[in-house]
Amino acid sequence: MADQSGFGAVEAAKLADDRYVIWNYIDITDVAPGIILTGLRVGIDESAYKVIQEFAAGNLVAGVRSLGLAEDNVGYLLTDGNRGLISDDILAKVEALKASVIAGEITVPAVPEPEIQAPTSDNEGAEIPPIVP
């Protein structure tokens, strides 16, 4: 769940037994203790800070940078607010998978394969050009 729209899911999980929410980008475990199982941790602030440092030092090189697990730029939230919800066994398995990704033993695709065929024309028959990243 993300941002304000996700708070409805949090409220619904509070009313149900054994229901959890996986949040996105920020730690709100203090807002809903026992409900937020984990969340995505993205180091956008750290990435921006590194680029600013390079610019200030005069050695900024333009281009695309890919920062992931190996650079500790993405991960999952594990705080006092959710630590009791994740068993040591599950945490050990997640950490082993993380290590396998970093070691190159597991390859994570950068762009997901399309599972559905996109329409090639609109309702009036006009051609829709493909979106190419």
Q: Predicted confidence band at 16 (pLDDT cuts at 50, 70, 90)?
A: confident
Domain membership flag for residue 19: yes
Closest by Cα among 68, 64, 63, 65 to 108:
68
Q: Which residues contact 62 (CB under 8 A, 6 or more apart)?
A: none
Domain total in the chain: 1
Sequence letter at residue 74: V
> How many Cβ atoms from other residues are within 10 Å of residue 109's Cβ?
6
Domain membership flag for residue 114: no
Instruction: Assess whether pLDDT exceeds 90 at residue 105.
Output: yes
Rounded CA separation 126/115 (Å):
23
pLDDT > 90 in the chain, percent: 12
Domain membership flag for residue 122: no
Q: pTM of the prediction?
A: 0.64
Q: Predicted confidence band at 59 (pLDDT cuts at 50, 70, 90)?
A: confident
Q: Write out the residue range of the structural domain in which residue 64 sits.
A: 4-102
Q: Which residues contact 130 (CB under 8 A, 6 or more apart)?
A: 118
Instruction: Assess whether pLDDT exceeds 70 at residue 30.
Output: yes
